[in-house]
Structure formats: C-alpha cells, structure tokens
C-alpha cells in the first residue's frame, strides 16, 4: 500500500514519516519545497505518477496570529491546497485524510464539542481550516477529517519546548489560565491516523489525548515533570493580548472514536511524561 504524506517536515509530518517508515507500507513523503500543494498542476502530476492509495495532508499554515494579516496565504494553503489534494485523490481513487483543528469552534461551549456540532471559527486560521473541511467533504468520496488540538512532539517548535526554554533563564513567568483544552502528543495522534486511514470508516473524528487542562496547568505539569523550579502565575487572556482571538473552551469530544470502535487516547499527563523522558534522554 502506498501512503503519501504532505507537510513531511512539520511537527506531525515528521512523526508520520517515522511511523509509516517503520510499517510495511510504501511511503512517499513531500516537504513544502518538494511539493507545493497550492499548485494544482504539480499536485495532479505527482499523484498521477505515484498512484497513492492514501494521502495524509499534514501540510498547513498554522501561524494563528499571522493568519490575521496573511488571510490569502492561510486560505491558499489550508483550503486551496487541500482542495487540490482532494481532487487529485479522487482522480486516482485514493483515500484522503485532512488534519483540522479545535479552532473551527468558537470556544463558548461548556461541554466537549462533538464532531457534528455547529462550527463557528473566531479567526482567519480557523476559517481557513474549516474551508478545507468543506472542500474535502464536497470533493472527495473517501475522506477522513481529523480535528486535533494543542499539538506537541519531538520535532519542530511547540508550547512544551517554549516553556522549557523559558525555564532556562527565568525563575517566574505568567501563563494563560482561562483557555481550556486537551494537549496532544504527535506520537499518539500519528498512531491513530495510520490506523484510521487503513479502514473505510470515513467521516469526521476528534483526536486528542484524554483529560483537560488550562495552558497554566499544562505549564505547571511540564515544569513538575522536567523538575524545573519555576514560579508559574495564572494570567487572563486579557492580560496577554494576541492578534487572533483564541477559543476559551476547545475540548474536543470523542464520539466518533468510540462509535467506530477506537480506543480513547491515553491521558495527556501520561503522554507528556513519556515525551519529557524522551527529550531528556
């Protein structure tokens, strides 16, 4: 079986490449420089040549604040790029998997968002990802849309690495306490994606590690596991203004996971402990 992965040098993309390489599947990995997914002719030519059975699109414009001033670029990558891949996949009869985000929701809920609840993105990033979802549903007959949140892993930059870096020369810092979600370790997310795309259980899924926390609580656990002696102070979002508004509550429910017979991912604290141990050693 041929699996094509785009965004292969990204945080999730590198983990997918690692895990697919360790499987019996034939991997075709493309970085941004090797394949411009916003170029329809290029995407069609590559898919025509490879004839993949599965395409996992891990390429994305993920700069949430930057998207507010780079709207066209965000939509170009997150919507048009996905459209191009969906069209090409349909031509060669491939399944397609689109990685989406908790930012498609407005964060005003008080209970976890199910996969089929009303979406209402607050900013350009979430709007562009939702556009990618709509195009996927419209253009593909064999699609998986997997929304995730608060992703971190061995590769690339992320919140955990940022906190550990700050701890090197600070004894005290403030972290937002009024935004709640579920951290997601790329190892667990990639495992689920590879398991899912082998099936015909098409549709929308939410995949994060289980359990919830605020960014403040996440930071506290990071420092505790990394044995860093640092004072963490809770901030409100108003005290830490950003160009793009963040959803206050973006916990993703796992209705589709459970209905389709998949196990819920391990607790975020357990996953974080493994991650900290891995990067420490």
CATH classification of the domain holding 12: 3.40.50.720
pLDDT at 242: 86
Instruction: Note whether residue 244 is domain-resident.
Output: no
For the segment 88-110, the average pLDDT, to the nearest whole number, is 97
- Domain extent, residue 43, equals 2-158+182-211+250-266
Asked if the structure places residue 16 within a domain, the reply is yes
What confidence tens digit (pLDDT) does each residue in 135-151 have? 999 999 999 999 999 99
**Between the CA of residue 238 and those of 118, 183, 243, 275, 276, what are the distances in Å?**
26, 22, 12, 31, 30
CB 210: neighbour CB atoms within 10 A? 15
Residue 134 covered by a domain: yes
Supply the residues annotated as catalytic: 125
Counting every residue written for the chain, the total comes to 281
Long-range contacts of the stretch 255-258 (C-beta < 8 A, 24+): 255/114, 255/115, 255/116, 255/206, 256/115, 256/203, 256/204, 256/205, 256/206, 257/205, 257/206, 257/207
Over 90: is that where the pLDDT of 279 sits? no
pTM for this predicted structure: 0.96
Task: For residue range 160-173, list pLDDT tens digits in order.
Answer: 999 999 999 888 99
- 118 found inside a domain: yes
- Supply the pLDDT for residue 173: 93
First-to-last alpha carbon distance for the chain, in angstroms, is 34
Buried b (16+ CB within 10 A) or exposed e, 151-172: bbbbbbebbbeebbeebeeeee
Cβ pair 192, 113 in contact under 8 A: no
Distance CA 145, CA 116 (A): 12
Per the structure, how many domains does the chain have? 1
């Amino acid at each position: 079986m041929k699996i094509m992965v785009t965004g292969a040098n990204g945080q999730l993309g590198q983990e997918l490449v690692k895990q697919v390489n360790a499987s019996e599947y034939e991997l075709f990995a493309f970085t941004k420089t090797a394949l411009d997914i916003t170029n329809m002719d290029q995407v069609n030519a590559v898919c025509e040549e490879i004839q993949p059975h599965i395409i996992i699109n891990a390429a994305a414009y993920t700069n949430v604040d930057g998207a507010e001033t780079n709207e066209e670029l965000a939509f170009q990558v997150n919507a048009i790029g996905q459209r191009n891949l969906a069209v090409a996949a349909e031509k060669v009869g491939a399944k397609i998997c689109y990685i989406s985000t908790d930012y498609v929701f407005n964060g005003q809920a008080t209970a976890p968002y199910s996969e089929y609840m009303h979406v209402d993105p607050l900013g350009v990033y979430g709007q562009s990802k939702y556009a990618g979802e709509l195009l996927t549903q419209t253009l593909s007959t064999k699609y998986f849309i997997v929304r995730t949140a608060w992703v971190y892993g061995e590769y690339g930059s992320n919140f955990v690495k940022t906190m550990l870096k700050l701890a090197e020369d600070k004894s005290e810092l403030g972290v937002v306490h009024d935004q709640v979600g579920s951290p997601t370790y790329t190892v667990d997310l990639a495992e689920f994606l590879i398991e899912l795309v082998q099936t015909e259980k098409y549709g929308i899924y939410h995949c994060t590690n289980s359990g919830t926390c605020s960014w403040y609580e996440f930071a506290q656990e990071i420092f505790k596991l990394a044995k860093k002696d640092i004072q963490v102070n809770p901030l409100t979002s108003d005290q830490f203004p950003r160009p793009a508004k963040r959803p206050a509550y973006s916990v993703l429910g796992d209705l589709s996971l459970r209905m389709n017979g998949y196990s819920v991912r391990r607790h975020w604290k357990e996953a974080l402990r493994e991650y900290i141990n891995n990067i420490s050693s």
